[in-house]
Amino acid sequence: MKSAVIVFPGSNRDRDMFHALDMITGSRPQHVWHTESTLPDVDLVVVPGGFSYGDYLRSGAIAARSPILKDLVAKAHSGVAVLGVCNGFQILTEAGLLPGALMRNAGLTFVCKDVMMETVNNATRFSSQFQKGQVWRCPVAHHDGNYFADAETIRKVEDNNQVVFRYAEGTNPNGSLNNIAGITNAAGNVLGMMPHPENLVEPLHGGLDGRLLFESLLTAA
């Protein structure tokens, strides 16, 4: 499976993502700097976590207007798999590739801990290796992860089964509506999620729960 990781000024999980993809898919991803105009021909493009542009204006807002985003939007519309993690999720919503917005955590504090996630839709290319209803552990590290969309958008997202991951009952770390931790676009080829599956993929991380997401992508490619 061929993949690429987009790097912005202030990205800081790009190497973790690179390592996870390299180790699990068996092929080295390409780093793509945000000022490039074209992405390579790959099966998966990842928008990694971090603090692109220091979260100026709104988290992800400036990165979402970077030169490379034009081609990312085109690739997403042509069906290429796109994964946005944490700041990447914020960037994908700001770019209009995913509905809704990520707001300041309801508790106002930066949350850095492990949460429990429930896979509520395993019929996507990002989640096929999970059991439906499977509860798994995943690290989160964010200040703006409070998923919000208007009632009509939430209804559409729910009706269309676009919610892939929810924070397990009672573990919502940020006030997200409907405990939403990860959603896809309507077509199902773009996933945004706040938790970091790339940080729980080898024994030294303390667990392997995040591997299933990458193995799902590998199966789909």
Partner 1 sequence: MKARVIVTLKNGVLDPQGKAIEGALGGLGFDDVGSVRQGKVFDVELSGSDKDAAKAELEQMCEKLLANTVIENYAIEIA
Query: Residue 138, SS3?
Result: strand
Residue 112 is among the residues annotated as catalytic for this protein: no
Query: For residues 163, 158, 161 and 100, what is the CA-based torsion angle, rounded to 10 degrees?
Result: -50
* CB closer to partner 1 out of 140 and 212: 140
Give me the least distance between CB of 154 and partner 1, in Å please: 12
Which residue from 3, 105, 124, 179 is in contact with partner 1, where contact means CB under 8 A? 105
Which residue from 3, 93, 124, 162 is in contact with partner 1, where contact means CB under 8 A? 93
Q: Does the footprint of partner 1 cover residue 55 (CB under 8 A)?
A: no
* Other Cβ atoms within 10 Å of 133 Cβ, number: 9
Q: Which residue type, as a one-letter code, is found at position 83?
A: L
Q: Does the footprint of partner 1 cover residue 186 (CB under 8 A)?
A: no
* CB closer to partner 1 out of 21 and 149: 149
Residue 215 is among the residues annotated as catalytic for this protein: no
Residue 196 is among the residues annotated as catalytic for this protein: yes
| Catalytic option among 86, 118, 138, 142 | 86
* CB closer to partner 1 out of 17 and 140: 140
**DSSP E strand boundaries for the chain:** 3-7, 30-33, 44-47, 81-85, 101-103, 111-119, 135-142, 146-148, 163-167, 180-184, 190-193
